């Protein structure tokens, strides 16, 4: 008698939509990867409010219209937008990419826009919405995708490697393993050149835990490492009562304390979210306040940064998961770009700053995620975080950042794909790679690589070898780097 056939998942709804088996993954890997991505980037729910929620605009008002910060409302809305847009990325683009309020962009909005004379938070967020809508038009017309295809594959590889180094530095700095030296070099080891304090020990132990699990081939190494290190941090804090590095005003008062969060079990786990920030923006208010030229330059600056950060991130994540085609492009790239563009506008419309694709998604890919199912898992967790924000605030930098160091190593391995004997590509690739971590800017690295690539082609007389869009992007990046002198010439602030 024949044995009954086991149920197959080949024709399941999940398989038909996400192509899980086709991409060499499983449902378990996707779930594990989605959870890992969430825990690696959940810090944004806490950090974004600290950046934009603690700063008053030029009129003295805080986000939400009050005369004092409302960090809970900013945190809840940050998690909401991240959750919705990450879900959309998973369903529409079927790509293991998570989105949230963009670091760097949020700081630029807080300190470079909202504090301009007569500007309000609503005016500043209106510029973000406008920038997102413009990028959406560029995507729908095919321009953004055409630029992606115009970039030489070795430069795309350099972008991935550079981002790997960038997130490694971010992890080391956020953990306090590397710190800015007073009157000395760019950075120094720990505090005064020494690894002082229990939190740094927790970071080192967490890094070795993740490395050990990874080299032994344990699936879930990154996720288990984050969770295990968080538990260790809670125990250490309970025993030694270390406290935070900073006081309520954000001033450094305890160099050997915890970064971002003090790992203690909260007294309150559940909290009803307040989404009152949604819709609190003025689309064209900034044009009345600071003039058409100044507002247009601000939109251009934000647009260019957002435009290329996403391109670098989606390629880097795809390279880590072996999802790129022979030209170095990810699957469904047009859909990815559409969702990312909508996320930029959505972030502005919800007054939490432009939302963009996160390179921390590579941690989920490192756990085996290959499809949009992982993004759906991450998105659901972000939505849950709107109610469980006290739990999200448990994880300190020292427990989350070891994952970034390991992911940086994994991305660095791609450097062997670059032909270092070909100076026309090697020099631009080198500048792309080193400037990302040294300038703390993905955009700066990409821009330097693109401009140098075009320049070298010109000086070697290979004008016809330069793709027309590379000419255009090169010129735009020259304008981007020279934005302040241009403002001076035009007489705008």
Per residue in 322-336, pLDDT (tens digit) is 898 887 889 988 999
Read off the pLDDT band of 4 (50, 70, 90). very low
Q: How many distinct helices (H) and strands (E) make up the chain?
A: 21, 4
Residue 356, helix vs strand vs coil:
strand
Mean pLDDT computed over 441-450: 84
Per residue in 109-151, pLDDT (tens digit) is 888 789 888 899 999 999 999 999 999 998 899 887 777 678 8
Residue 113, helix vs strand vs coil:
helix
Return the pLDDT at 2: 43
Return the pLDDT at 467: 86
Tell me the HSE value of 375 on the side-chain side, using a 13 A CA sphere.
30
pLDDT surpasses 60 at 8: no
**How many percent of the chain have pLDDT more than 90?**
38
What's this model's pTM, rounded to 2 decimal places? Answer: 0.72
Return the pLDDT at 429: 95
- The domain ranges of the chain are 13-413, 419-492
pLDDT surpasses 60 at 3: no
Please answer whether residues 482 and 304 qualify as being in contact, where contact means their C-beta atoms are separated by less than 8 angstroms.
Answer: no
Please answer whether residues 114 and 120 qualify as being in contact, where contact means their C-beta atoms are separated by less than 8 angstroms.
Answer: yes
Quote the CA–CA distance of 228 and 208 in Å, as a whole number. 12
Type and span of the H or E element at 288 = helix 285-290
Per residue in 142-197, pLDDT (tens digit) is 887 777 678 888 888 888 888 888 888 888 988 888 887 776 667 778 887 778 88
Return the pLDDT at 1: 42
For residue 8, what are the CA distances in angstroms to 11, 24, 28? 7, 16, 16
């Amino acid at each position: 008698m024949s044995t009954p056939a086991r149920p197959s998942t080949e024709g399941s709804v999940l398989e038909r939509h996400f192509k899980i088996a086709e991409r060499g993954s499983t449902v378990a890997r996707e779930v594990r990867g989605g959870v890992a991505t969430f825990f690696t980037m959940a810090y944004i729910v806490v950090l974004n409010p600290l950046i934009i929620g603690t700063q008053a605009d030029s009129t003295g008002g805080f986000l939400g219209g009050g005369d004092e910060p409302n960090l809970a409302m900013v945190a809840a809305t940050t998690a909401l937008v991240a959750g919705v847009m990450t879900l959309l990325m998973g369903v529409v683009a079927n790509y293991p990419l998570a989105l949230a309020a963009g670091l760097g962009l949020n700081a630029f909005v807080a300190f470079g826009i909202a504090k301009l004379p007569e500007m309000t938070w609503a005016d500043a967020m209106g510029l973000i919405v406008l920038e997102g809508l413009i990028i959406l038009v560029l995507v729908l017309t095919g321009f953004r995708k055409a630029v992606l295809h115009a970039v030489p594959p070795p430069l795309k590889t350099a972008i991935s490697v550079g981002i790997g180094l960038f997130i490694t530095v971010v992890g080391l700095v956020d953990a306090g393993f590397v710190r800015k030296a007073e009157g000395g070099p760019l950075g120094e080891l720990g505090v005064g050149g020494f690894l002082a304090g229990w939190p740094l020990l927790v970071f080192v132990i967490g890094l070795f835990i993740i490395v050990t699990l990874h080299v032994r081939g344990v699936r879930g190494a990154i996720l288990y490492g984050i969770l295990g290190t968080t538990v260790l941090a809670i125990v250490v804090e309970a025993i030694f009562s270390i406290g935070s590095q900073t006081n309520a005003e954000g001033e450094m008062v305890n160099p050997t304390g915890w970064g971002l969060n003090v790992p203690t079990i909260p007294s309150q786990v559940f909290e009803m979210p307040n989404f009152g920030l949604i819709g609190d923006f003025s689309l064209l208010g900034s044009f009345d306040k600071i003039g058409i030229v100044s507002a247009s330059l601000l939109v251009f600056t934000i647009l260019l940064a957002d435009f290329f950060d996403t391109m670098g991130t989606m390629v880097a994540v795809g390279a880590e998961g072996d999802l790129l085609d022979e030209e170095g492009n990810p699957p469904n790239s047009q859909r990815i770009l559409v969702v990312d563009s909508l996320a930029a506008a959505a972030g502005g419309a919800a007054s939490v700053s432009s939302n963009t694709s996160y390179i921390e998604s590579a941690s989920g890919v490192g756990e085996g995620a290959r499809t949009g199912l992982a993004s759906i898992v991450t998105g659901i967790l972000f939505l849950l975080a709107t109610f469980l924000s006290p739990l999200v605030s448990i994880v300190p930098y020292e427990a989350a950042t070891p994952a970034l160091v390991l992911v940086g190593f994994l991305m660095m391995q791609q450097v062997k794909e670059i032909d270092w004997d070909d100076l026309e590509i090697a020099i631009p690739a080198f500048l792309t790679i080193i400037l990302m971590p040294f300038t703390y800017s993905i955009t700066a690295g990409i821009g330097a690589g693109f401009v140098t690539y075009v320049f070298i082609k010109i000086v070697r007389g290979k004008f016809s070898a330069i793709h027309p869009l590379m000419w255009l992007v090169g010129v735009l990046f020259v304008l981007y780097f020279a934005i302040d002198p241009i403002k001076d010439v035009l007489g705008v602030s």
